[in-house]
Structure 1
Amino acid sequence: MQSIGWSWSPLPQRRRVVSIMAAGVAVLIAVTLVAGILESRFGVADSSSVYLLAVVVMASRFGLWPAVGTSLVSVLLYDLLFTEPRLALAVADPQEWLSLLLFLVVAVVTGRLAGLQTERARDASRRAGEAQSLFAISRSLVTARSVQEAGADLVSLLEKGAAMDDVWIAVGGSPSQERQVASRPTTGPRPEPMVHWLLHRGSGGRTDEWVRTHTGPSRSGRSGAQSSSDEAPADVFRVVIEADERPLGSVWARRAHRRGIPGPTETRLLALAADQIGLALRREELASDATKAEVARRSDMLKSALLDSVSHGLRTPLATIRAVAGGLLDEETATSPDATRKAAAAIDAEAARLSDVVRNVLDLSRIEGNALRADLEVHELGELVRASIRRQRDALPASRLELELPDDLPPVLVDAVFLDQALANVLENAASYAGAETRVRLRAAIASDEGFVDLVVEDGGPGVPDQDLEMLFQKFFRRDGTRPMRAGLGIGLSVARGLVEAMGGQLLAEHSQLGGLALRFRLPRSGRGSTLESAPVPEHAAASPSERP
């Protein structure tokens, strides 16, 4: 078991000692030359204080103990070179002994103060760098949607902050189950190393420690890294990512063997980064669970709303059919041929309503199932609109309708079945909510975007507030306080928008010039550069009418 406070490899320590000794020799030679010049040419009687410069330089560059060593060597050099008898450690004058001792004390104190100041400055710099790295890691995790999305930034920050040659992040309960989610590009898969250093977290005030761990034979494709035969020897380090005392993955790192195990600052950065990644992974799990729960809740709500709407939409026409049919079957009630015809017409109308309910439900399911394909063909808009109005004459008699369809309208590229169904739903909505005697106007014109033709269906009814305009196209939406003249499912406008968007158009809700609601069909013009081949449409508009296979 190795402590993080020192390196197990002798090479880095040996090189540091050599560099300190070389610097010390160079500095001492320089100040010795200065002291000799001061005493020989300028007549300075005691130039020992010049050696304090060497002590300060060594303390500020290498710390306390190199400064103390420089102080002792400075005393010996001054004694040998500048104190009688020269070139001997003996001192003839007791006053010289006192001066040397005082110089030694001053030099040691000066070196200690300068060394402590240097260590504090370096520690502050390390802490500031560590704080900046942790802030950058936190920012990447917070701003990204997932750990995998933030992976490139995390890897780059850890490689720089922890002085690693390579860093990668893997998720899984154990090294054999982990899958890599973040790394920088490599020449091949990273195998799980036979030996790696595992960080054991200290508890109760104990220091974190790196422990050399053997994992057995290497298995290709697992999380890990290993030096190839033509690369310098490297060591692999692993920090476990945990949340709620449950392993979620690992932060893996690799660097050259000669650089030793990570120091305290590097280890702390790796450990804190693993903790933050663990919290981010846990947040992802909680968010995923919450999303699943919300989807399930909304799915249940939609199912309940659909069942309620369908049951209500079916119950009303079925009740009418049964009542009228029951009257026809009553032998005690005499019915005239005219009454029979009226009863049959009522049954036919209610059966048509049932057909509309089933058709809208099927269309909605295909819209949400992304299964709609439009059969686009060139049509005259006026012909399609007039044909649809004739089919809706029972809901909207001609006396309530106003048509403004110019003869010079360009042809449109639409699916005739889709447009007929969408327009039928919009007209039925106007008939149900605008009021029994309210005018309904259909007007068409070339849109401001010349690639489209606008068809507007507007009424003079009570209108819709601004905040509810877009909500009209939501499934099962009904404004509070509204009472339709004909009960429906609340999905007609949602289906209409899906059908229009399937043709490459738009269905927009806005305020009417008549004071009520206006629904604007924006339909693509023929010859505007579109191809006649149908293509997949957006998710909310991807279905086909129920009449089509």
Structure 2
Amino acid sequence: MHVSNWRASARLSWLMGYAAALAAVTLVSLFIGFVVGRINLANASMLYLFAVLATAVIFGRGPAVFAAIAAFLTFDWFFVQPLHQFTVSDPEEWISLLLFMLTATITGQLAAGQRERRREAEEREREAVVLYDVVRLMSESRLEDALASVAERLRVELHVPALAVEFWRPTGELVRVGSGDANGIDEIYRSATPAHVLHTGRPPSSDEHATPGRWVRIVPTLRSKTESRNSSKIGVVPIKVGERRLGALVLLDPSQQFDTTDNRLVSAAATQIGLAVDRDRLRKESTEAEILRRTDQLRAALLNAVSHDLRTPLAAIMASAGSLRQQDVAWTEEERQSFAQAIEEEAEHLNRLVANLLDLSRIEGGSLQPDKRWHDVGALVEDVVDRLRPVTARHHVEVSVADDLPPLWLDAVEIGEALYNLVENAAKYSPPDTPITVEVRHNRGARVVEVSVFDRGPGIPPAALPHLFDPFYRAIDGNGTPRPGGLGLGLAVVKGLVEAHSGRVWVENRGGGGARFVITLPVADQPADVPPAPQVTAA
């Protein structure tokens, strides 16, 4: 990726290091000649250590060794007798010069080693910070938005004019998310064959660290040479999960060839992007599988309803109607009324079953839109309890409505449906001659109206409490068999209807047996000029 430019830049940096070493030795020599020489300072050669140390810290080992050798030769030439010769008249001077040379070389190496460790620490810190940012950015809910943020972060960090992330969806659709100037992104998208590809390095093992990959130049074929003219500045980093390729990071015209740290950084970023893309795929597949599971569950429930819950009341209706039509039997008036009552009760049962199925379908489909108006919830509760008298005939029903109830902004039909299901559920599972209490009160602190339904049934098994309001869920008795009656729709419908009014519903067991179901509905500020709407009877 612009290897000629990188080589020129590297050559210039190399020359600057050695030129700076020579300049530092020259400055120290001038200082010794014009300043130190006048005061006859012993061991003046040690001043060259400053030049060696500065060169080692700034430019590294090579220029530091060069500075030590240049200092040795310069001091011998200009300041050791005989002057301007590379010979030494006093043998002791040889020892001093060699000791200086050894000291300068070791000192330079130590300083250069510290410089290298500092540089490696800074590179590790940079790599860790960038990868942390990539992981945080990939936590965005929408994959394309997350990839756009990651592309911008990497583009700025790697100093490239444009960068794009490409990946394929399971359907085969190619998705591209770019960052940078428009011309650069357009050049990336128009490129046919990249000029360089970063190959993966050796994977980590128990004994060795992983090694970063290296850039490999792609030699175009004769057929693709024309198309590759616009691709000479393009570099590609494959995005893989295991051995499966998901896409690529595409970079345009980096200012210099990446070093080992950049290669490791961009490879790690590509790995994180690959994991995020694969997680998004798995999440969507999991959602689709859950939808299919729920669909199969609904289909099975509907089949069960058709085969049992619908056929049973239909059979009773047909039997009663058939008996009424028999001309050869003289039915008494009481018997005729009994047949008619059976037809009416079973028809009502069918109506409730179909209504619950339709309500659940609207709730699950997100099409539930309450027709809210101002209503008196106390009157609504009393109306629901009155309609349930045939169902609760074998129980003692008590209704307690507080006097300070405010009007509520709600859909009377839907909330009436929820209350109907709760009271009917209490009557279904409570033994005959046990009390069912419906209590309505105003919780001023929480700004809600609470409607509670108490019963003295068997209570709710602790394991069933978290799932009781799930569609098609039926509580399991102590012997491991589902409780009889119903499809497990009523409480799910209650939850959906109440939550559509920004309310809550929950259940808790009572001391001494039984359960308490609670609905809370928020209290809204009613305009002074809007009177409560007339009570609507729930169907």
Distance 2:315 2:424 in 1: 21
**Cα distance, 1:433 vs. partner?**
0.7
Distance 1:282 1:530 in 2: 56
Give yes or no for contact 1:461–1:515 (8 Å, CA) kept in 2.
yes
Does residue 77 of structure 1 match 2:74? yes
Does residue 448 of structure 1 match 2:444? yes
Distance 2:133 2:285 in 1: 25
**Cα distance, 1:191 vs. partner?**
0.7
Does residue 191 of structure 1 match 2:194? no
Corresponding residue of 1:428: 424
Q: Using a 3 Å threshold, how does the CA distance of structure 1 residues 50 and 440 change in structure 2: closer, same or farther? A: closer
**Cα distance, 1:118 vs. partner?**
4.3
Q: Using a 3 Å threshold, how does the CA distance of structure 1 residues 249 and 546 change in structure 2: closer, same or farther? A: farther
- SS of 2:187 mapped into structure 1: coil
Give yes or no for contact 1:432–1:484 (8 Å, CA) kept in 2.
no
Corresponding residue of 1:535: none
Indicate the structure whose relative CO is greater, using CA pairs within 8 Å and at least 6 residues apart.
Answer: 1
Corresponding residue of 1:211: 217
Cα deviation 1:45-67 (Å, max 9, x = unaligned): x6445434433432333222212
Distance 2:82 2:498 in 1: 109
Corresponding residue of 1:51: 48
Corresponding residue of 2:517: 519
Q: Using a 3 Å threshold, how does the CA distance of structure 1 residues 464 and 189 change in structure 2: closer, same or farther? A: farther
- SS of 2:486 mapped into structure 1: coil
Corresponding residue of 2:312: 316
> Which amino acid in 1 is paired with 2:477?
G
Matches within 5 A, 1:493-508: 493-508=491-506
Q: Using a 3 Å threshold, how does the CA distance of structure 1 residues 31 and 295 change in structure 2: closer, same or farther? A: farther
Distance 1:206 1:393 in 2: 78
Give yes or no for contact 1:91–1:97 (8 Å, CA) kept in 2.
no
> Which amino acid in 2 is paired with 1:360?
N
> Which amino acid in 2 is paired with 1:415?
D
Q: Using a 3 Å threshold, how does the CA distance of structure 1 residues 519 and 389 change in structure 2: closer, same or farther? A: same
Distance 2:393 2:267 in 1: 76
Q: Using a 3 Å threshold, how does the CA distance of structure 1 residues 287 and 414 change in structure 2: closer, same or farther? A: closer
Matches within 5 A, 1:51-450: 51-86=48-83, 88-89=84-85, 91=87, 93=89, 95=91, 98=94, 102=98, 106=102, 109-110=105-106, 113-114=109-110, 117-118=113-114, 120-122=116-118, 124-125=120-121, 128-129=124-125, 131-133=127-129, 136=132, 139-140=135-136, 148=144, 150-151=146-147, 154-155=150-151, 158-159=154-155, 162-164=158-160, 167-172=163-168, 179-181=175-177, 183=179, 190-193=185-188, 197-201=195-199, 208-211=214-217, 237-254=235-252, 257=255, 260-328=256-324, 334-397=330-393, 400-406=396-402, 409-449=405-445
- Report the identity percentage: 29
Q: Alignment partner for residue 17 of structure 1, among 15, 29, 33?
A: 15
Corresponding residue of 2:533: none
Q: Using a 3 Å threshold, how does the CA distance of structure 1 residues 246 and 523 change in structure 2: closer, same or farther? A: closer
Give yes or no for contact 1:378–1:526 (8 Å, CA) kept in 2.
no
> Which amino acid in 1 is paired with 2:54?
V
Distance 2:368 2:381 in 1: 22
Q: Using a 3 Å threshold, how does the CA distance of structure 1 residues 75 and 455 change in structure 2: closer, same or farther? A: closer
**Cα distance, 1:366 vs. partner?**
1.5
- SS of 2:185 mapped into structure 1: coil
Cα deviation 1:443-468 (Å, max 9, x = unaligned): 32323357543333222323335664
- SS of 2:468 mapped into structure 1: helix
Q: Using a 3 Å threshold, how does the CA distance of structure 1 residues 295 and 369 change in structure 2: closer, same or farther? A: closer
Q: Using a 3 Å threshold, how does the CA distance of structure 1 residues 329 and 136 change in structure 2: closer, same or farther? A: same
**Cα distance, 1:491 vs. partner?**
0.9
**Cα distance, 1:269 vs. partner?**
1.5
Q: Using a 3 Å threshold, how does the CA distance of structure 1 residues 47 and 294 change in structure 2: closer, same or farther? A: same
Give yes or no for contact 1:363–1:546 (8 Å, CA) kept in 2.
no
- SS of 1:473 mapped into structure 2: coil
Distance 1:319 1:433 in 2: 24
Give yes or no for contact 1:170–1:251 (8 Å, CA) kept in 2.
yes
State TM-score, norm by structure 2.
0.78
> Structure 2: any 5+ residue segments left out of the alignment?
203-210, 531-536
> Which amino acid in 2 is paired with 1:30?
V
Corresponding residue of 2:207: none
Give yes or no for contact 1:475–1:494 (8 Å, CA) kept in 2.
yes
- SS of 1:191 mapped into structure 2: helix
**Cα distance, 1:82 vs. partner?**
1.9
How many residue pairs end up in the alignment? 514
Cα deviation 1:497-524 (Å, max 9, x = unaligned): 3334444544443455885222334345
Corresponding residue of 1:537: none
Give yes or no for contact 1:414–1:524 (8 Å, CA) kept in 2.
no
Question: Which deviates the most, 54-63 or 151-160?
Answer: 151-160
> Structure 1: any 5+ residue segments left out of the alignment?
220-224, 227-233, 533-544
Corresponding residue of 2:206: none
Cα deviation 1:457-503 (Å, max 9, x = unaligned): 22232333566445332212222128999832221122233334444
Give yes or no for contact 1:140–1:153 (8 Å, CA) kept in 2.
no
> Which amino acid in 2 is paired with 1:430?
A
Give yes or no for contact 1:200–1:208 (8 Å, CA) kept in 2.
yes
Corresponding residue of 2:453: 457
Q: Using a 3 Å threshold, how does the CA distance of structure 1 residues 307 and 261 change in structure 2: closer, same or farther? A: same
Distance 1:171 1:196 in 2: 16
> Which amino acid in 2 is paired with 1:73?
A
Q: Using a 3 Å threshold, how does the CA distance of structure 1 residues 39 and 496 change in structure 2: closer, same or farther? A: closer
Distance 1:280 1:413 in 2: 44
> Which amino acid in 1 is paired with 2:185?
R
Distance 1:283 1:203 in 2: 24
- SS of 1:247 mapped into structure 2: strand
- SS of 1:393 mapped into structure 2: coil
> Which amino acid in 2 is paired with 1:252?
V
Aligned-pair Cα RMSD in Å:
4.4
- SS of 1:190 mapped into structure 2: helix
